[in-house]
Structure 1
């Protein structure tokens, strides 16, 4: 058995998984995260879900190579179809996908979320859409992280069942990230501001509604950066 060497991004996700959990990892990326968590004796068992045949077979192979067949079940399934309600999973991780796709996965399997105590989500984009979905479906964000790895910036959010409200600024920038305003947070939004200003220059004056929409977002970014 070889200890899995996770990326910085997935190590951060792993650090947020509660000890003793039963995990469903959706889009499991070769089952690296569940294997690591079992090796660290942090979780009791896991389901690794994959929708694509190649990564599914790779996950099976990795679990077998680490002699963890008794702890990790690998399933070829789309999203939360990998989960049977009787399996008593308490935590779901979904990492490395767009925020819109993660929202869609949760929406399509929302009847299976009743027993879930925690969602740990790492969207690659459209984080505000995911936060909006969580709020609209009675989840409250209890923690957020922002990290940089290999020149890319990633946001991670942890949510649990419960009513919450986020204003537009909190949906866009994160209720915790917008308070902390870390150097990585500032770097991300300074880069986004420059990109949007360039895009605004390319939009003809006649496209008034598009210009207004873009200008509004640029102003929101300016306000959050000016507050820091």
Structure 2
């Protein structure tokens, strides 16, 4: 597995029942079972092709009795009788990820642990976690193959753990650590937002709300990378 999947795997608790949503090749559940870290997982995907790949890899590993494959959208494939404790969702936009979690919440699902890796829109995911009484236990910011990834582990605590604007934007634990990838990522984002602001101000019909948000983002980023 690559660095991203290995880091996600480390965030999964031992002896937990796992659902890997958007599993693709099922690399993560296969590795977790092979390591002896877990003994049961559901590998779920919306697309038949990736799920077929997952089935083939699971059979090749001889783990058909420990990893079930399910075809369907998001967490719709999960039933209460599965007794899933940990949900892993990685490699999709934060807006879609939050919607998947919200749809499951509306169906009466609250999972003990969530291990998430949104590839965009991370603040929206943190807002969802905060508003649904999850506490962020672990975060990591890594760089791999020209991309940066924010990984989040959260636990259901049944009380709202308030995050500040900065903590939602950057990640409360990422903000504390500020590793080298932090400066690399946010310097790049600062440059992006500066160019975006120029273009927004050039527009014939100015989107004042969007301009204000971009200006705020620039202010937040400058405050953290220039401290």
TM-score interval for Structure 1 and Structure 2 normalised by the shorter chain: over 0.9
Is 1:190 matched with 2:187?
Answer: yes
Q: Is the 8 A contact 2:43 2:68 kept in 1?
A: yes
Cα distance in structure 2, aligned partners of 1:186 and 1:113 = 37
Are the structure 2 counterparts of residues 220 and 86 from structure 1 closer, same or farther at C-alpha, using a change threshold of 3 Å? same
Is 1:113 matched with 2:109?
Answer: yes
After TM superposition, give the deviation of residue 208 of structure 1 in Å. 6.5
Structure-2 residue corresponding to 1:78: 73
Q: TM-score, normalised by structure 2?
A: 0.94
Cα distance in structure 2, aligned partners of 1:208 and 1:65 = 54
1:106-165 deviation digits (Å, cap 9, x = unpaired): 011113533x22100001010000001111111111110010001100000000112211
Structure-2 residue corresponding to 1:61: 56
Which structure 1 segments of 5+ residues have no match?
1-5
Structure-1 residue corresponding to 2:45: 50
Cα distance in structure 1, aligned partners of 2:108 and 2:212 = 40
SS of the aligned residue for 2:64 comes to coil
After TM superposition, give the deviation of residue 99 of structure 1 in Å. 0.7
Q: How does 1:138-157 map to 2 (within 5 A)?
A: 138-157=133-152
Structure-2 residue corresponding to 1:97: 92
After TM superposition, give the deviation of residue 89 of structure 1 in Å. 1.2
After TM superposition, give the deviation of residue 203 of structure 1 in Å. 2.3
Structure-2 residue corresponding to 1:201: 198
Is 1:220 matched with 2:220?
Answer: yes
After TM superposition, give the deviation of residue 50 of structure 1 in Å. 0.8
SS of the aligned residue for 1:70 comes to coil
After TM superposition, give the deviation of residue 180 of structure 1 in Å. 1.1
Q: Is the 8 A contact 2:11 2:138 kept in 1?
A: no
Residue 176 (structure 1) aligned to one of 173, 177, 186: 173
Q: TM-score, normalised by structure 1?
A: 0.93
Q: Is the 8 A contact 1:21 1:90 kept in 2?
A: yes
After TM superposition, give the deviation of residue 211 of structure 1 in Å. 2.7
Number of matched pairs: 221
Cα distance in structure 1, aligned partners of 2:25 and 2:201 = 46
SS of the aligned residue for 2:194 comes to helix
Is 1:165 matched with 2:166?
Answer: no
Q: Is the 8 A contact 1:46 1:71 kept in 2?
A: yes
Which structure 2 segments of 5+ residues have no match?
none
After TM superposition, give the deviation of residue 204 of structure 1 in Å. 2.7
After TM superposition, give the deviation of residue 226 of structure 1 in Å. 2.2
Cα distance in structure 2, aligned partners of 1:197 and 1:180 = 25
